């Protein structure tokens, strides 16, 4: 859920209300509509099915309204709360009263399942009742507090968008249980890790929503207690005291959730030691451990970088070592990059810098949108950057999207994030408006300096860099418009009041809108195809390049290279010319690019050799089309490449 920092003393920007901004056309509008019309009801069926997920059935059993045992994943409760957010966003925006009524029924079910002391986690409630040996706080990997954290944010969102406090009452009772638990842990010193700490964000949001300082104090206490965990692990980022953190390590989802929550805490309390941690760890991530797509967490399992070859810990869904970014086996759990969006947004609100919004956009448009199929029904858990026709080994989650996967955390997390993209379109301070994600939209603003107006964007971004801004419905009070010029833009200019001005890239530029009514301006971000190469220590990307155009990463798929027996035969000339070409995928027209690559000629026997002689005379030109990475794996099983080997001299 978006962070409400409008009253946070150490935030420099805050979001506008969800209902005050609407996508009007373009990619974000299409993705929102697909989520609302397809993904949300599809996920609801998955959660309602006792034969598939068993999630809603677990709540019914916990409430004593159905017979049976707990089945499904231990984090199913939290997954359902995430879906609940996507349902709230879409139902409110589309006026879906039937869905809103269903949400009230679910809330009543939560309340009936909840115990008198506020505890609510279906596995433990059912297990204790049946005497199976399952008990609360018995296993840190049962995700009890994780589930509660998502309950808190979901309840806050429901209250803000509907005005109904039914879910908030359930959440506050659960927070009361957590308060007793953590205060007892502080007294006894018996502290357990709470894995994947969504509750830091959730508790701060409860404070922001209710104004009750107890929840902020509880968030502070829960963060501080991390340092008291015995035998902490890099997997959970609790082996070192939090204020000593300078590197991104361990489980990628847990790390991104942790630092997003600590950013929330900083914006309320202003502890500069936390800010030092956040900025140091962020810089380590984006400069040494992040994929070009914004993917986070390179390895299924990997050694902790804080260890060494003689003493180290095995870490799951790991960030791995610096520059360790494999492509075929890239793990990049979708939830990790979604956590990256939550963290990037909070870093931006803390300090409105282009670097944070640029990275949020990279994650959103590339790896996150790739996590769900264009039809909105199939999902990736991991996000690779290269797919082969066949592998001599098995990947944990396979190489294609699927409707239902055992670990179903990513689909509802994706649904709620894509449903809320309009909230990332702008942020404001007391005097002006920061542009965030660009796209055709209409937004209504009332600033703390008294300025009130409607701002409209017209653009085909992210496929075209021309963006027109116009103001209407103004009360006449001036304001500032801070326009984002991304770091990828090699050239940019803005035309306002008949004057054309070049803009520096990788910065925000303030436009003084002194006479708002009827004001308009046009910004042009030059979107030339560019070849991007990786750091020399990224071993798998040496002498290869990726094609980027604007904020989008492009890739090649088997259907777009018909003359190549294998995509591994392709080489990218340095002088390649890219021409726009529309391609239809899943009934959608998508901007692709055509070019000529070089193709190696060989028989299958040669291709299967571990090593072979490269014969330049066996190269020929072949036409290839590139598509945005987010649109891949929608046309059946085939190869896919993001990184292409370079041919340093063309034919």
Helix, strand or coil for residue 588? Answer: strand
Q: How confident is the model at residue 216 (pLDDT cuts 50, 70, 90)?
A: very high
- The predicted pLDDT at position 320 comes to 87
**626 membership: H or E segment, kind and range:** strand 619-628
Residue 337: pLDDT over 90: yes
- The predicted pLDDT at position 632 comes to 98
Q: Which tokens hold the place of 308?
A: 């060494």
**Cβ-proximal residues to 45 (8 Å cutoff; 6+ apart), any chain:** none
Query: What's the CA gap between 253 and 257, in Å, rounded?
Result: 6
Query: What's the CA gap between 153 and 172, in Å, rounded?
Result: 11
Entry pTM:
0.97
**Cβ-proximal residues to 34 (8 Å cutoff; 6+ apart), any chain:** 374, 375, 376
- The predicted pLDDT at position 193 comes to 87
Ordered DSSP codes for 120-149? --HHHHHHHHHTSS--TTS-GGG-HHHHHH
The string over 344-353, giving b where at least 16 C-beta atoms fall within 10 Å of a residue's C-beta and e elsewhere, is bbbbbbbbbe
Query: What's the CA gap between 31 and 546, in Å, rounded?
Result: 25
Residue 650: pLDDT over 70: no
Count of other CB atoms within 10 angstroms of residue 580: 12
Q: How many residues does the chain have?
A: 651
Percentage above 90 pLDDT, the chain: 86
Query: What's the CA gap between 86 and 325, in Å, rounded?
Result: 32
**216 membership: H or E segment, kind and range:** helix 213-224
The tens digit of pLDDT for each residue in 365-419 reads 999 999 999 999 999 999 999 999 888 888 888 889 999 988 899 999 999 999 9
Ordered DSSP codes for 554-595? EEEEGGG-TT-S-GGGEEEETT---EEEEEEETTEEEEEEEE
Domains within the chain, CATH numbers bracketed = 18-424 (1.50.10.10), 427-525 (2.60.40.1180), 530-647 (no CATH)
Residues 38-66: what's their mean pLDDT?
97
Count of other CB atoms within 10 angstroms of residue 596: 18
- Within 63-197, where are the H helices? 76-94, 97-113, 122-130, 144-162, 166-188
Residues 415-438: what's their mean pLDDT?
97
**264 membership: H or E segment, kind and range:** helix 252-269
Residue 125: pLDDT over 80: yes
Number of helices (H), then strands (E), in the chain: 17, 23
The tens digit of pLDDT for each residue in 3-27 reads 899 999 999 999 999 999 999 999 9
Omega before 552 within 30 of 0, i.e. cis: no
**Cβ-proximal residues to 369 (8 Å cutoff; 6+ apart), any chain:** 31, 418, 630
Q: How confident is the model at residue 311 (pLDDT cuts 50, 70, 90)?
A: low
Q: How confident is the model at residue 305 (pLDDT cuts 50, 70, 90)?
A: low
The tens digit of pLDDT for each residue in 459-500 reads 999 999 999 999 999 999 999 999 999 999 999 999 988 889
């Amino acid at each position: 859920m978006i962070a409400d920092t409008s009253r946070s003393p150490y935030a420099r920007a805050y979001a506008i209300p969800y209902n005050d901004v609407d996508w009007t056309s373009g990619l974000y509008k299409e993705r929102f509509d697909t989520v609302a019309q397809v993904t949300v009801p599809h996920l609801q069926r998955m959660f309602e099915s006792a034969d598939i997920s068993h999630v809603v059935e677990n709540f019914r059993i916990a409430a004593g309204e159905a017979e049976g045992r707990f089945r499904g994943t231990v984090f199913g409760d939290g997954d359902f709360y995430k879906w609940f957010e996507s349902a709230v966003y879409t139902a409110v925006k589309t006026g879906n009263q039937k869905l809103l009524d269903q949400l009230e029924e679910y809330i009543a079910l939560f309340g009936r399942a909840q115990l008198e002391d506020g505890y609510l986690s279906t596995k433990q409630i059912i297990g204790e009742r049946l005497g199976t040996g399952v008990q609360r706080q018995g296993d840190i990997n049962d995700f009890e507090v994780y589930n509660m954290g998502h309950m808190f944010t979901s309840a806050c969102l429901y209250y803000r968008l509907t005005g109904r406090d039914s879910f908030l009452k359930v959440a506050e009772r659960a927070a009361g249980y957590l308060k007793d638990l953590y205060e007892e842990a502080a007294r006894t010193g018996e502290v357990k890790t709470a894995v994947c700490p969504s509750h830091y964000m959730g508790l701060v949001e409860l404070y922001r929503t209710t104004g009750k300082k107890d929840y902020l104090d509880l968030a502070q206490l829960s963060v501080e207690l991390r340092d008291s965990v015995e035998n902490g692990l890099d997997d959970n980022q609790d082996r070192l005291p939090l204020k000593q953190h300078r590197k991104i390590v361990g489980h990628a989802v847990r790390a991104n959730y942790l630092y997003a929550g600590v950013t929330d805490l900083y914006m309320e309390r202003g502890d500069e030691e936390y800010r030092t941690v956040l900025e140091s760890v962020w810089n380590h991530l984006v400069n040494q451990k992040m994929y070009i797509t914004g993917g986070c967490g390179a390895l299924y399992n990997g050694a902790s970088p804080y260890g060494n070859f003689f003493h180290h810990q095995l870490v799951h869904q790991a960030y791995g070592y610096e520059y360790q970014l494999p492509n075929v086996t890239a793990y990049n759990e979708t939830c990790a990059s979604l956590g990256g969006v939550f963290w990037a947004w909070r870093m931006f609100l803390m300090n409105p810098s282009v670097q944070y919004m640029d990275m949020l956009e990279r994650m959103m448009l590339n790896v996150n949108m790739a996590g769900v199929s264009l039809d909105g029904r199939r999902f990736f858990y991991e996000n690779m950057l290269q797919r082969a026709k066949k592998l001599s080994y098995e990947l944990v989650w396979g190489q294609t999207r699927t409707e239902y996967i055992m670990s179903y955390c990513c689909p509802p997390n994706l649904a709620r994030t894509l449903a809320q993209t309009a909230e990332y379109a702008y942020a404001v301070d007391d005097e002006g408006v920061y542009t965030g994600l660009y796209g055709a939209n209409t937004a209504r603003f009332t600033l703390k300096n008294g300025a009130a107006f409607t701002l409209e964007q017209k653009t085909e971004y992210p496929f075209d860099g021309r963006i027109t801004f116009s103001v209407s419905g103004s009360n006449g009070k001036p304001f500032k418009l801070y326009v984002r010029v991304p770091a990828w833009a090699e050239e940019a200019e803005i035309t306002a009041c008949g004057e054309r001005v070049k803009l520096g890239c990788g910065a925000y530029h303030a436009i003084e809108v002194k006479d708002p009514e009827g004001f308009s301006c046009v910004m042009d971000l030059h979107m030339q195809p560019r070849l991007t190469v990786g750091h020399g220590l990224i071993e798998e990307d040496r002498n290869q390049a990726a094609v980027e155009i604007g904020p989008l990463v492009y890739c090649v798929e088997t259907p777009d290279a018909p003359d190549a027996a294998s995509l591994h035969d392709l080489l990218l000339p340095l002088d390649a010319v890219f021409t726009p070409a529309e391609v239809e995928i899943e009934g959608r027209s998508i901007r692709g690019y055509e070019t000529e690559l070089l193709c190696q000629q060989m028989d299958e026997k040669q291709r299967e050799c571990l090593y072979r002689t490269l014969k330049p005379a066996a190269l020929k030109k072949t036409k290839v089309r590139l598509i945005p990475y987010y649109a891949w794996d929608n046309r059946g099983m085939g190869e896919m490449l993001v990184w292409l080997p370079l041919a340093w001299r063309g034919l």
